[in-house]
């Protein structure tokens, strides 16, 4: 079964592929993304007020543009919610310091916003929303979160986004210091994907029955 992730972010695609392989060892899932579309694909403007709205927008748009035969499109939107900042950067996580911001620029902006804030007030969570779209429309929705704290300086070089600043108590270290396998055990993305497993199995069974 082919699942097209509505992204051109290779790090996100690798993570989703790795997680799905562990969650569905008995289902032959081929995970690809939109990099093959090259310059012909531009992501839609993320105008939703919630992660789930943006995820569905991406999934529907990618389906209309690519219309993969016999597969599904997975729309995903995720980001960081910092309690001291009243939930920011939230849906603006990828462009916290500007429309074309790099991970390093966003991390620097976050550290500046939390300058002088005590450890106990640096609580935060990663949130991920996912929507699966097929020929008949939406076939599944799911969300996942992981709680943590924002460090005062980056740690590690792994992951992407805010991972070097996100300390995960469940792992006892930053996501940036964690291996992919360690992160997959607790991450917001893994938990959201776990919620979609029944929908993927149903879609695969339907496809298999129609062969």
Tens digits of residue pLDDT in 7-46: 888 888 888 999 999 999 999 999 988 876 555 556 666 7
CA distances in angstroms from 186 to 3, 6, 24, 96, 181, listed in the order given: 23, 23, 17, 25, 10
Q: CATH number for the domain including 197? A: 3.90.950.10
Tens digits of residue pLDDT in 99-127: 889 999 999 999 999 999 999 999 999 99
CA distances in angstroms from 175 to 4, 8, 123, listed in the order given: 26, 22, 15
Distance CA 99, CA 161 (A): 15
- Residue 47's pLDDT is 75
Hey, is 125 helix, strand or coil? strand
Q: pTM of the predicted model, to two decimals?
A: 0.90
Distance CA 66, CA 53 (A): 20
Among 24, 20, 106, 9, smallest CA distance to 58 is for 9
* Residue numbers of the domain that contains 8: 2-209
Residue 83 annotated in active site: no
77, 83, 103, 209: the active-site residue: 77
- Provide the domain count of the chain: 1
């Amino acid at each position: 079964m082919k699942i097209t992730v509505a992204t051109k972010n290779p790090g996100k695609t690798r993570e989703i592929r790795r997680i799905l392989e562990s969650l569905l060892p008995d289902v032959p899932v081929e995970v690809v993304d939109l990099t093959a579309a090259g310059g012909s694909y531009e992501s839609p403007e993320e105008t939703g007020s919630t992660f789930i709205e943006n995820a569905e927008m991406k999934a529907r748009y990618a389906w209309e543009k690519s219309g993969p035969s016999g597969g599904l499109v997975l729309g995903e939107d995720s980001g960081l919610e910092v309690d001291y900042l009243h939930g920011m950067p939230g849906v603006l996580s990828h462009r916290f310091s500007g429309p074309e911001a790099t991970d390093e620029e966003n991390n620097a902006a976050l550290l500046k916003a939390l300058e002088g804030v005590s450890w106990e007030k640096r609580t935060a969570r990663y949130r991920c929303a996912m929507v699966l779209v097929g020929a008949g429309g939406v076939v599944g929705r799911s969300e996942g979160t992981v709680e943590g704290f924002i460090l005062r300086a980056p740690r590690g070089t792994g992951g992407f986004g805010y991972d070097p600043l996100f300390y995960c108590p469940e792992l006892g270290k930053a996501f940036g210091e964690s291996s992919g396998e360690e992160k997959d055990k607790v991450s917001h993305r893994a938990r959201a994907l776990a919620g979609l497993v029944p929908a993927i199995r149903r879609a695969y069974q339907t496809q298999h029955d129609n062969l």
